[in-house]
Amino acid sequence: MRQIGSLIIPIFFLLPSAAQTMGHELPLSDSALSFSGVIDFSTGEIMTGMYMAMKGNGSYDINYPTAIDHAWFGEPLARLNLLFRPDEKISVSIGFEAGILLTTFPANLKTAVSSNGMTSVLPQYMDWRLHQAMGSFSLLDNEGTSATLSAGLMPYKYNPEVRNLGEFLFRSGTYPFFLVNSFNFPLARLTGLRLKYTRKSGNIKFTFDQFVRLERDFPPLNDLSLTSIVGINLMKVVDIGAGVDFARLIAWDSRITTPRGACYVTSPAGDTGYYTFKGTKLMAHATIDPLAWLRDDEESFFSRLAGENGGKLYGEIAIIGLANYPASHEIIGIGDSINLWGYTKITERMPWMAGINIPLWKLLDVCAFEIERYPAPYPNDYSQAFYNRALPIPAWLRNYRNDTTGYGSGVYSIKRWYWSLYMKKQIVKHVCLLGQVSRDHMRWEVNLGNEINYATEEIMPKPGQWAWRLGMLFEF
C-alpha cells in the first residue's frame, strides 16, 4: 500500500495545476504543464481455449490442460500522462497505468488459504505500473530537419497501422522464440536511450531511430541491446521501414544469459555447445495507401467511403534469431535441460502478418482485419525463461507431447495461423466504442494466489479457438 500511495500522492499535487489546461486546448509551447489519458472499460469472452497454471513454490507442478469454454473476463484500465516543458528544448513525460483484472477462472483454483487457515475467495487483482517516464532534449529543430535525444521508459511503435498482431521486433523473445500482444495496445515500452532523427524534403520523409536498450520485460533482465530502425514515407502513398535488433548484445551476467544448464552436443565431433538468450532480429514493414491523394477532398465519394484509414494495406515480416542451434534430446549432465525441437531452421523463426483497413463509409473510424503466420514448431510459451531456472529453450514438458490430452505434438506440426478483426468508432468527442474478435496471443493474467502464477503460454493455440472483446474508451 505504501508503494501505491507514493504513486498517487504526487498526482494529487499535480492535478490542480494541470486542470488549468482542461478548459481550452493550448499548444504545448504555451503551457508548462499538460496532461492526457484514457479510461478503458472492456469485457469479453473466451469462446474456447486452453489454460495452464504454473505453481511458483519451487516445484514445476502443472494444472494442465484445463479447457476454457465460454469464460468471461473484464479489465478496467486507467492511464494518466503528465507532460512538463520547462523550455522549448526540454520535455519530461510521466505516465501511470492501473488496471483491475476481474477474472476468477479457473473455478478450481480461485480460492486460497487465508492467514487464519480458512479457505477464502481470492480478490480481484489490481495492477499498477509506470506507463512512461521519459526526458527528451531537442538537439536540432529547423525547417525540415529535427533530432531529439530521449532517455527513460518510453512507449514506442514503428508500424503505425497495426492494431493487434505484428510489431515483432520488440514483442518477441529470441531464444526461445515467442510472441506477445495486448488488447488495444499494439506497441512496446522500451527502457534506455533513443536518438530520433527526422528529415522531410517535399513529399518524402525519412526517419531514423537508434536505441540503446535495457531488457526489462523478460529475463534475463538488464542485458544491453542495440536497435536501429529506419523509415521512408513517399508522398503519403508508401511507407516502408526496416530494423535490426542486436538483442542482449552485452550481457549483465553471461552466466545467466548463456547458462551452462542449456547445452547440446554437436555432431559428429561431439563438442558441447550452449543455447543463449542472445540473438539478432531483423524486421521489415510496409504500408500502401492507394487512396491517399483522394482523401484531400473531404467531400469526394472516395473520401467519404474510405474515411481516414480505409483502404490502407500493410504488413510486416521478421527473422527472430539469425543463428541456428541443434536439438538436444538427452540430458548431458546433472541439471541440464532438453530442447526437443532445437533451432534448426531459420524459417521456423520468421513470423509475418498482413492487414487491411476496410472502407466502411465512415460507419466505423477503424475496421482492421489482420492475419499472422506463427511458424515455430513448439509452444508459444515463455515458461522456461520465467520458471525453469531461466533457460533459453522451448517448453519441453511431456504434457505437450501427450496426444491423449487432445493437445499433442500435432498442434505444432501444422502451420499456425492467427487472425484479428479490430473495430473502433467515436460516438461523441472523447468517447469511443471498441470491439475485437480474434485468435491471437492472449495470455490469461489472473490472480491465483501466491503459489500459482498466471499462464505463460497463449490460451488459444489450437485452430478454431477464439475470443471477443467489447469496450468503451474515454480519451482526454
Q: How far is residue 64's CA from residue 52's CA, in Å, rounded to a whole number?
A: 5
Instruction: Find out whether the peptide bond into 186 is cis, omega within 30 degrees of 0.
Output: no
Average pLDDT taken over every residue of the chain: 80
Q: Are 71 and 98 in contact (CB under 8 A)?
A: no
CATH number of the domain encompassing residue 290: 2.40.170
Q: How far is residue 33's CA from residue 375's CA, in Å, rounded to a whole number?
A: 47
Q: How far is residue 461's CA from residue 64's CA, in Å, rounded to a whole number?
A: 14
pLDDT of residue 81: 94
Range with top average pLDDT, 135-144, 291-300, 412-421: 135-144
Domain span including residue 333 = 2-475
- Give 336 or 98, the one with higher predicted confidence: 98
Candidates 125, 251, 245; CA nearest to 188 is 245
Candidates 473, 389, 381; CA nearest to 432 is 473
What number is the average pLDDT over the span 72-90?
89
pLDDT bin (cut points 50, 70, 90) of residue 200 is very high
Q: Is the pLDDT of residue 180 over 50?
A: yes
Q: How far is residue 401's CA from residue 409's CA, in Å, rounded to a whole number?
A: 5
What are 260's three cell numbers? 551452462
pLDDT in tens, 123-137: 566 778 899 999 999
pLDDT bin (cut points 50, 70, 90) of residue 218 is confident
What number is the average pLDDT over the span 266-288?
88
pLDDT in tens, 449-471: 544 455 678 888 888 899 999 99
What are 46's three cell numbers? 473466451
**Amino acid at the residue 81:** N
- What residues contact 268, with CB distance under 8 A and at least 6 apart? none
Q: Is the pLDDT of residue 382 over 50?
A: yes
pLDDT in tens, 26-55: 344 445 889 899 999 888 998 988 776 555
- Give 415 or 323, the one with higher predicted confidence: 323
pLDDT bin (cut points 50, 70, 90) of residue 438 is very high
Q: Are 368 and 355 in contact (CB under 8 A)?
A: yes
Q: What are phi and psi of 10, to 5 degrees?
A: -60, -30
- pTM, 2 dp: 0.83
pLDDT in tens, 310-354: 889 999 999 999 999 988 866 554 445 678 788 999 999 999 999
Q: How much of the chain exceeds pLDDT 70, in percent?
A: 73
Q: How many helices (H) and strands (E) does the chain have?
A: 5, 24
pLDDT bin (cut points 50, 70, 90) of residue 403 is very low
Q: Is the pLDDT of residue 19 over 80?
A: no
pLDDT bin (cut points 50, 70, 90) of residue 416 is confident
What is the number of domains present in the chain? 1
